[in-house]
């Protein structure tokens, strides 16, 4: 049976990926409206956010449906977000930095909790190859 912590982390990962897609839309709209940055390309950055956001959404969905492969992507994404939180903090935005860091640490704590580690270590406790969500 998939632990509740996996499903919660999966839901948060889907939300994180969705926010990345929203950011891509915002960047695209800004570029279309004529806003230009010297240091970055709004379109290029938007494409990066779509790729990363889609991967995180897929990982979150995998976790939500009890597939183990989503954990690696979710862990990697949240480790990256800790770096983002540090950058945001160093830019003087304490409130946003704390919010990003807190969510990232929460997801990492969920994905490294004892029930999740037990679930990962015992392949017979749930099938990672199942195409259906577990309903037990």
What CA–CA distance (Å, rounded) separates 71 from 99?
21
Residue environment code for 79-90, b if the CB has 16+ CB neighbours within 10 A, otherwise e: eebeeebeebbe
Question: Using an 8 Å Cβ cutoff, are 57 and 11 in contact?
Answer: no
- pLDDT the model gives residue 101: 98
Per-residue pLDDT of the chain (136 residues; tens, 9 = 90+): 899 999 999 999 999 999 999 999 999 999 999 888 877 888 999 999 999 999 999 999 999 999 999 999 999 999 999 999 999 999 999 999 999 999 999 999 999 999 999 999 987 654 545 555 555 5
| Tokens, residue 68 | 């183990």
The DSSP result for 10-34, as a single string, is HHHHHHHHHHHHHHHHHHHHHHHTT
Domain boundaries, the chain: 4-121
What CA–CA distance (Å, rounded) separates 96 from 115?
30
What CA–CA distance (Å, rounded) separates 55 from 62?
10
Question: Using an 8 Å Cβ cutoff, are 106 and 19 in contact?
Answer: no
What CA–CA distance (Å, rounded) separates 82 from 97?
9
- pLDDT the model gives residue 50: 98
For the entire predicted model, the pTM comes to 0.85
- pLDDT the model gives residue 125: 52
């Amino acid at each position: 049976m998939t632990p509740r912590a996996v499903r919660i982390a999966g839901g948060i990962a889907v939300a994180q990926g969705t926010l990345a897609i929203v950011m891509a839309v915002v960047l695209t709209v800004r570029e279309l409206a004529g806003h230009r940055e010297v240091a970055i390309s709004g379109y290029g950055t938007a494409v990066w956010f779509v790729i990363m956001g889609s991967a995180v959404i897929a990982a979150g969905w995998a976790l939500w449906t009890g597939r183990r492969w989503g954990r690696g992507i979710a862990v990697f994404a949240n480790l990256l977000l800790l770096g983002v939180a540090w950058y945001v903090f160093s830019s003087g935005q304490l409130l946003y930095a704390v919010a990003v860091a807190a969510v990232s640490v929460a997801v990492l704590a969920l994905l490294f909790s004892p029930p999740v580690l037990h679930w990962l270590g015992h392949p017979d406790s749930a099938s990672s190859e199942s195409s259906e969500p577990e309903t037990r």
